[in-house]
Structure 1
Amino acid sequence: MSDAPAEPRGAVYSALSALLDYPSDALVDALPAIDACARDAKGLAKEARAGLARLIGYLGERDLLTLQENYVALFDRGRATSLHLFEHVHGESRDRGQAMVDLLQMYERHGLYLSAHELPDYLPVFLEYLSRLPERDARNLLVETADILQALAAALAKRGSHYGFAIGALLSLAGKGQADAPDAPDDDAHTSVDHRALDADYADEPVRFVGAATPGAAEPVRFYDRRPGRQAAERGEAGRKPAAVKRPGGRTDEAPDEESGEAHER
């Protein structure tokens, strides 16, 4: 019988959430702990572990400014590589606003409160939510996003991005086999990419998220604090409507209006 400590519930989702979030000094500092978690995570195929090691290596080798510039060029300048789940599902339709409200309410039922600048369909936020759920509930919700993740993995493979390995790891956890992966990833070559060609004829089938009925009892693992809205909620401030947010790529997103169910981008 092994004496190794059990993997904390949801740790792998928290690790992948951190890896896919906008790069920061806190992320760079947390890379050794994230690497250890990825190596020990249950449910990850050998290829997925190797891919995550390459992504972590990339994040550790570049200076922070380069990481941030590459991140914006990759995720904020084309729909096909967007990390906003409902961008792939609803696009610019009015349904996106109500879907955001529903998702935000689902998070809050499980103790996850977002800060004013965050949208609930952002993949790193969704993964942090999964880290709070019982394993079976988290996996069932992850499986519901599989079509989106497969399309995202294919787009990132075409872009030659290390971040494709993180999406591949999520598909591995969802039991969807090996995803498209970049042969020779080079996130520094983003200036030569034709984003319009990558986005052409891009569409996905709608997906519905069905929340777990019972909140998890244990506090999930967090590699660093990225949800300051949690403390605001405890002070009774979480009910306010978030202000419009200026994304790093220059796009401004407005949070959904709970009465009208609309979300706006400009």
Structure 2
Amino acid sequence: MDIGTSQRVCGLLSRLLEYPSSEWRQHLPAAREMAAEIAAADAEAARHIEAFLNAAESAGEIAWQEQYVRTFDFGRTTNLYLTYEQHGEERERGAALLAWKRRYAEAGFILEDGELADYLPLVLEFAASASWSAAQEVLAWSRPALHSIRLSLAEAGSPYTGLFELLLQIVPEAPAELAAEPTLTGRGDN
């Protein structure tokens, strides 16, 4: 998948992984149009997105919202806060979050809505808009958590599984120094 398509997929996945409010549902036709555009560059990516959209559109709004909450809000191994599984509420998580926030700032990406820096839709928004080298670094930090989430989703038979399979095709397998989670004494403290 080329860089432009990868970034467009990240942008779309950022939206699809947000809480499925009524407004979110109203944007599903636009997401389907984007999937059709992505299909021209990567048919497999489009198939993952279309399968997800089919599941979302066929489910009732309340049922889909309940499934989202059960999946992402109550599941420790499927939590969309990427440092949570490893650190929970431990002090080290705060240091990792600060390092992520600093990396965003170095790339000119300013957090405005008060969301934590490791929230997956935010990470994907960054990947969609930052330079690809900065995006790859942050995505590489995310890979272990994304892999763990995908395994848990697959085990549960979740319709979100395909989105994570697609995401793992985009996220680079990085050298240890790039994939290592940032800390205040590491890369993120420059």
Q: Same fold (TM over 0.5)?
A: yes
Confirm or deny that 1:162 pairs with 2:159. yes
Distance 1:206 1:57, change over 3 A: same
> What is the letter of the counterpart of residue 163 of structure 2?
A
Confirm or deny that 1:208 pairs with 2:182. yes
> What is the letter of the counterpart of residue 104 of structure 1?
K
Identity %: 29
Distance 1:39 1:208, change over 3 A: farther
For the pair shown, which has the larger CA radius of gyration, 1 or 2? 1
Q: Do 2:5 and 2:38's aligned partners in 1 also have CA atoms closer than 8 Å?
A: no
Pick from 41, 47, 50 the counterpart of residue 53 of structure 1: 50
Match of residue 99 from structure 2: 102
> What is the letter of the counterpart of residue 72 of structure 1?
V
Number of equivalent positions: 177
Distance 1:107 1:28, change over 3 A: same
Confirm or deny that 1:144 pairs with 2:118. no
Question: Counting helix residues as a fraction of each chain, which structure ranks higher?
Answer: 2
Paired with 1:13 and 1:112, the residues of 2 have a C-alpha distance of 18
**Cα displacement (A) at 1:35:** 2.1
Q: Do 1:44 and 1:173's aligned partners in 2 also have CA atoms closer than 8 Å?
A: no
**Cα displacement (A) at 1:161:** 0.5
Q: Do 1:112 and 1:129's aligned partners in 2 also have CA atoms closer than 8 Å?
A: no
Paired with 1:69 and 1:11, the residues of 2 have a C-alpha distance of 28
Q: Do 1:84 and 1:121's aligned partners in 2 also have CA atoms closer than 8 Å?
A: yes
Match of residue 113 from structure 1: 111
Paired with 1:80 and 1:22, the residues of 2 have a C-alpha distance of 18
Distance 1:149 1:8, change over 3 A: closer
Distance 1:100 1:44, change over 3 A: farther
Once the two structures are superposed, residues 122-162 of structure 1 have per-residue CA deviations (whole angstroms, 9 ceiling, x without a partner) of 11111111112123432343233222211111100011101
Q: Which runs of 5 or more residues in structure 1 are unaligned? A: 1-6, 177-204, 214-266
Q: Which runs of structure 2 are paired with 1:1-266 in the superposition (5 Å)?
A: 10-41=7-38, 46-109=43-106, 110-116=108-114, 118-174=115-171, 207-208=181-182
Paired with 2:73 and 2:146, the residues of 1 have a C-alpha distance of 17
- Tell me how large the CA RMSD over aligned residues is: 2.9
**Cα displacement (A) at 1:59:** 1.6
Once the two structures are superposed, residues 53-97 of structure 1 have per-residue CA deviations (whole angstroms, 9 ceiling, x without a partner) of 111112222232222111111112221111110112322321101
Distance 1:36 1:15, change over 3 A: same
**Cα displacement (A) at 1:103:** 2.1
